[in-house]
Structure 1
């Protein structure tokens, strides 16, 4: 055979029609799956973009709201007085958001200021200062909320109960058992709404400047005080001692007695954190709650233990601070405004004056300036 003769045509195995159709269907399905995948990716991207836009919009709204909120600054002064030990404690958190996982959608800022006046030792006041605001942060409402006011009040009640239970558990596990107790007065500011929760005899008062009758008024809470402005002192807390009728009745119903104005003749307050040996006698850790909306007429809040109020009435304390704020020249300090210098001086001088007037107790004062 000639090497160059034509080779015979190769035999082709015919592909069944059904196989051809199957192959075509598979291709079509692959195309459809790819289209579906692309569509899902587009939808996910659009959804992500919408969520991001919604979050940015919420942040923008919060930013705008935040710009209209009062500016709060805290100043503190503490004096041991004639006591051997400083049993007071305090906390100042002008912005509490760092302690919280999330805020309610309609809230831009939460601030927290608190004074704790210990007795029988410093352990209860120190424990409350370290733990109460963390319990509050865990229990604080978040996300979409309705009736925020009700939720905040419930949160405060639960927080005080939890803090008291935690301390009593720790105190009872010690040998010997801790018998410390502490008052607690906490100012929680949610945007421009002030919530005050207190146990015992530490107090919180608000200085509000109102236009006098027939006067022109004018000016915001951060401005000067003219002759046409009237000073109004608002009590933001309620004292709890065994001489108050409702408190005494509760103690007596629980089987306790009140002698010389004290529970069992010993304890001066009828509500507290700790004091495990008196809990069976009607001493409770349920705080009184009060609420107040801040206005442009509000100047400052004084938050202090009873050491201050043993020698100052609430009105006297407010007027003392106002007098210091209106004093002539002040020492200028780098990076600090003149108003901040004045408030710092007012806080320190108020605590020192309480000691000078003969208060032998510990004195702790927090002064919160309010500016719009």
Structure 2
């Protein structure tokens, strides 16, 4: 889902062959230094031009004997990769895993899926990055599943755990969503209505009708639309909330005028944290007996 214009590709640094004389080597070092500075400056501009992502999570055990959900918040996944491909300057990853039959599968996925993703991530000046990333996500899900099944079958008695997986991967200004099972990812955006007011619209990221379609993305931009946040949650939430109800509940908390101040958090961060916690608690209050895990990803322009 492209949110902004394409970013410039950084200049690539080349290295001098060892047979050059000393003067050539000094000149080459100066040129390399200049190119590295230029590349750093380009990447700095790229980062400053991207929306700031921040994840908030809330988890409730409900009436279950144990918490079988797991989640991962990685606003900056770059440290897991040996290098970033091409002109990419930021990679973020958020995921919810709803375990069943035990917590081992969900925990395994939370600990290993992003590591497998990092290993398979396209590197260098990869052409067709979008196509490669989609294949990378498929291969990552398959690899993580195979690894867990191998480990589970080697136990005595064999583990019978399973898990859903719902992940979003943000590569600069593009959002990729991948899922297995009945956990969901939905996106909230605001756009101008016919009466001049702004309204919120809820989109299921797992469906075809979303901003990955060029015509739909252009329509959103022409209407003055902006993403406000992305919500990931296990089915415990959606047993007592529809997607629209969950988004409206979050918006209601975000728009409240009073919020308890904390020195280490901004007012906006406090609102998202409160919205995340209150949504999970409300699901339990509404009678959900299942585990409930909620992740809110704020998109700040």
- TM-score (norm. length: structure 2): 0.87
Residue 38 of structure 1 and its aligned partner are, at CA, apart by 10
Tell me whether 1:183 sits opposite 2:112 in the alignment. Answer: no
Q: Name the structure 1 match of 2:252.
A: 323
Picking from 82, 88, 95, the partner of 1:107 is 88
Residue 349 of structure 1 and its aligned partner are, at CA, apart by 0.3
Tell me if structure 2 keeps the 8 A contact 1:88–1:118.
yes
- Any idea what SS the aligned residue of 1:105 has? coil
Picking from 57, 76, 84, the partner of 2:57 is 76
Tell me if structure 2 keeps the 8 A contact 1:119–1:180.
yes
Picking from 204, 215, 240, the partner of 1:235 is 204
Structure 2 unaligned regions, length at least 5: 1-17
Picking from 228, 237, 241, the partner of 1:308 is 237
Tell me whether 1:356 sits opposite 2:285 in the alignment. Answer: yes
- Any idea what SS the aligned residue of 2:231 has? strand
Q: Aligned partners of 1:39 and 1:365: how far apart in 2? A: 59
- Any idea what SS the aligned residue of 2:21 has? helix
Q: What do the CA deviations read for 1:134-191 (whole angstroms, capped 9, x no partner)?
A: 1111111121111110111111111111101111110111100111110000010001
Tell me if structure 2 keeps the 8 A contact 1:75–1:368.
yes
- Any idea what SS the aligned residue of 1:358 has? coil
Residue 290 of structure 1 and its aligned partner are, at CA, apart by 9.2
Distance 1:135 1:39, change over 3 A: closer
Q: Name the structure 2 match of 1:128.
A: 109
Q: Aligned partners of 2:150 and 2:36: how far apart in 1? A: 42
Residue 133 of structure 1 and its aligned partner are, at CA, apart by 0.3
Q: Aligned partners of 1:290 and 1:199: how far apart in 2? A: 21
Q: Aligned partners of 2:246 and 2:30: how far apart in 1? A: 55
Residue 51 of structure 1 and its aligned partner are, at CA, apart by 2.5
Q: Name the structure 2 match of 1:144.
A: 125
**Where do 1:50-69 residues align within 5 Å?**
50-69=31-50
CA RMSD of aligned residues (A): 1.9
Q: Name the structure 2 match of 1:242.
A: none
Tell me if structure 2 keeps the 8 A contact 1:196–1:291.
no
Q: Name the structure 1 match of 2:13.
A: none
Residue 53 of structure 1 and its aligned partner are, at CA, apart by 2.1
Equivalent pairs counted in the alignment come to 274
- TM-score (norm. length: structure 1): 0.71
Q: Aligned partners of 1:62 and 1:328: how far apart in 2? A: 37
Distance 1:39 1:208, change over 3 A: closer
Structure 1 unaligned regions, length at least 5: 1-36, 216-227, 239-288
Tell me if structure 2 keeps the 8 A contact 1:196–1:290.
no
Higher relative contact order (CA 8 A, sep 6+): 2
- Any idea what SS the aligned residue of 1:329 has? coil
Q: Aligned partners of 1:291 and 1:75: how far apart in 2? A: 24
Runs ≥4 in structure 1, deviation > 4 angstroms? 289-296
**Where do 1:17-96 residues align within 5 Å?**
40-96=21-77
Q: Aligned partners of 2:226 and 2:252: how far apart in 1? A: 17
